[in-house]
Structure 1
């Protein structure tokens, strides 16, 4: 039994025009600047989110000067309004609480500093697209300050979408690492989930891994599942994709079928435990998180959540 995603993954949504030709049009950008809107992203990948996690807080561009700051990145344009993001300096960033990666604070109407894991599932389509793109770009800028070829410093061009080497003139563009993520099921009513060694007790998700050089996506799915839990899969089928800027992945989603009687062999040092879960139990865990002992699923901002939700909905 195959299935399709019930909707776009949370971070795959984007409603405004990215406007690639506009990025190098300094004259047009200067004309648009007075009416532009800007979001601020701190070094921990958080921005201000309000209205119970549904909207990113943007500010008039004029608060940042009479022209775009050199650190600003252009996110897109819509109806004559350009949307930008600027980074908040490290010294102005509040320290994150312990356990931040698994922290989901109560959402309020007042502005809150939240990251994409915490807010991606609740943001409206436009806000989700703007925040995801901004987070991805700033992650890239933080690791691309020097040329990979000659080591000289790089400078920012084209509204934050290109870095030019000051030594050899090499151009570098934002990088994305391809990773597969696969929901393995038995072709009937069981799904395979696993828990990473650094994850809290009871938290499970589907399996994922990075694509290696010279490897197809389908081959990567088969290799990663075999390496991580020791089972062989077949009937690999594409479902959808989602950017995941932690730090710069594109998660490419698949489903595959495996034999639930084949012994599970979690990879030492990588997978703490793996198990088959019936559809009925997964539905309960997704409907009321925390009510099923030892089965707390992936967060709503992830494509893993959308995959599990979609498979669980089959037969409703």
Structure 2
């Protein structure tokens, strides 16, 4: 697919310098480098300054209660790290963190003027490719550490290792590495129409492409056919890969595919989705422009939005 790697979080050629992760002396030297930059993350939100990530020096006062430093790589101008400062409690006058699908609030830190902690979904489409890649890495890895603090083999608490890229169990010696869950997301076409669905947890009117996790022992193509059949009853024939996107909510790799529908009748599984509809190309142009009276598109920056936009622009080949 043309422009496949232009998807948000699609990468920026970052030198992740994986060989330096287990080198304690190199990590200490890079942390002391005057060019080193640190991205603070607070309860899954990344620090932003306008349309860019908010970076601070390793000795910044805002990092006083930070956890261990996660090494992200060599950013071109110097080493880049991220730290989790989730133990910081905002002042009473700060907006309460909103629950649900998306949190629009911006948390300000008294030591970080003109910056704030924002939900990555809300800023992802505005970030540069380099900032988007770094933010996705940091959010996904800190999420993994929060949910994998104990050894899956013996149950003992595991320890942070390799600059955040591994956990070790001091009791049984097991090593644990960050996981990425494979997910298929499908541009299912029939004639001049695309199949859309919506989850009951989504904002009112929002529809997107169907998606689902790849199961053990299953190919990407088989997962596409199974998920579409389970959720809508639509049978799918030919399937081809289009593009992928790391999705750090919490840690998935989205495999964008195109599928040819062999049937049209929809019979939804209400346990899986709330609704599914066929939308014609002309109507989809309205949807993507935000002019449709009923349907809202997937969020800009998501691979669903990317695939539909490229379909409408005839850029899938």
1:155 aligns with 2:153: no
Residue 19 (structure 2) aligns with: 21
Residue 146 (structure 2) aligns with: 142
Cα shift readout 1:14-36 (whole Å, capped 9, x = no counterpart)? 34211100111222222222321
SS at match of 1:191: strand
Of residues 203, 207, 212 in structure 1, which corresponds to 2:210?
Answer: 207
Q: Tell me the distance in 1 between the aligned counterparts of 2:2 and 2:258.
A: 9
Residue 74 (structure 1) aligns with: 71
Residue 114 (structure 1) aligns with: 118
Residue 280 (structure 2) aligns with: 278
Moved over 3 A (4+): 3-7, 102-105
Of residues 111, 123, 130 in structure 2, which corresponds to 1:126?
Answer: 130
Residues 14 and 130 of structure 1 are in contact (CA less than 8 Å); yes or no, is this contact kept in structure 2? no
TM-score (ref. length: structure 1):
0.89
Unaligned runs of 5+ in 2: 107-112
Higher relative contact order (CA 8 A, sep 6+): 1
CA deviation after TM superposition for structure 1 residue 113, in Å:
2.0
CA deviation after TM superposition for structure 1 residue 234, in Å:
1.3
After superposition, residues 163-202 of structure 1 pair within 5 angstroms as: 163-186=167-190, 188-202=191-205
SS at match of 1:138: helix
Q: Which moved more, 1:204-213 or 1:30-39?
A: 30-39
SS at match of 1:16: coil
CA deviation after TM superposition for structure 1 residue 185, in Å:
0.8
CA 1:18–1:103 in structure 2 vs 1: closer, same or farther (change >3 Å)? same
What is the aligned residue count? 304
CA 1:65–1:22 in structure 2 vs 1: closer, same or farther (change >3 Å)? farther
CA deviation after TM superposition for structure 1 residue 236, in Å:
0.2
Report the aligned-residue RMSD.
Answer: 2.6
TM-score (ref. length: structure 2):
0.88
